[in-house]
Amino acid sequence: MTSRITDCLNRLNHEQVWIRGSENENAIGNLVLHLCGNVSQWIGTGVGGWPDERVRDREFAARAEAGPPVLADRLQGVMTEAISIIENVATERLTEKITLQGYTVTILEAIYHVVEHFSYHAGQIIFATKQLKAEDLDFYGHLSATAHAETTP
């Protein structure tokens, strides 16, 4: 999903990344900042033991701050760190309880939360990019019609 978000960011200009239909909507830039904050808190803090320095409200209050390349780099950096933490979690720690944002969960539940949360917002970013660009992003171009020519009974 990170590569698809990066692809979306690479297709958009600064204004498109920060456009919002109303104050009740989030811009793509806010969603990327939010994903960085969420992954850093749940994986970095919760699993990796980092200090919790997240200020969630800032993720949504941001307006036209970083451009697409900066957002893509920030997201990639956070994900690289998170992947490293997850790869090094000892199996016996997966049932260890941690508390984040007032929720007490196991480390495995925290990891699954991040996967679900990331996928949810990635879908929003992809949808918004399709609307802004009015084009097929061709994420599934490799699945040609001939590869799926069989019919469902």
Domains of the chain: 2-133 (1.20.120.450)
Q: Which residues contact 106 (CB under 8 A, 6 or more apart)?
A: 94, 95, 96, 97, 98
CA distance 20 to 14: 12
At 153 the pLDDT is 57
Contact 73, 5 (CB under 8 A): no
At 47 the pLDDT is 97
State which H helix or E strand residue 97 sits in: strand 97-100
At 143 the pLDDT is 80
pTM here is 0.90
At 141 the pLDDT is 80
Tell me which residues of the chain have a pLDDT lower than 70: 144-153
CA distance 10 to 3: 10
At 23 the pLDDT is 86
At 150 the pLDDT is 60
At 1 the pLDDT is 87
At 43 the pLDDT is 98
